[in-house]
Amino acid sequence: MSQQEEEEAIRLANAAVYLMVLKSAIKLNIIDIIFASSDGGIFLSPRRTCHA
């Protein structure tokens, strides 16, 4: 496999993963949660969202 073919395979894999993550975020309403929390200068951070 040439360097160019390998890079193309990586790009295709990344595109597939990106679409799956976006689809999951939409199904779980994560985009809406982030948008709603950003009103008034409030931002999500890992410390605020983890309940350990």
Structural domain spans, the chain: 3-49
Q: Quote the mean pLDDT of the chain.
A: 81
- Distances in Å between the alpha carbon of 9 and those of 6, 15, 17, 29? 5, 10, 12, 30
In contact, 16 and 9? CB cutoff 8 Å: no
> In Å, what is the CA distance from 51 to each residue of 8, 13, 29?
40, 32, 19
Q: pLDDT-based confidence at 1, cuts 50/70/90?
A: confident
Asked if 40 and 46 touch (Cβ cutoff 8 Å), the reply is: no
Per-residue pLDDT band at 22 (split at 50, 70, 90): very high
Could you read off the pLDDT of 34-48 as tens digits, one per residue?
A: 777 776 556 666 665
For residue 52, pLDDT beyond 50: no
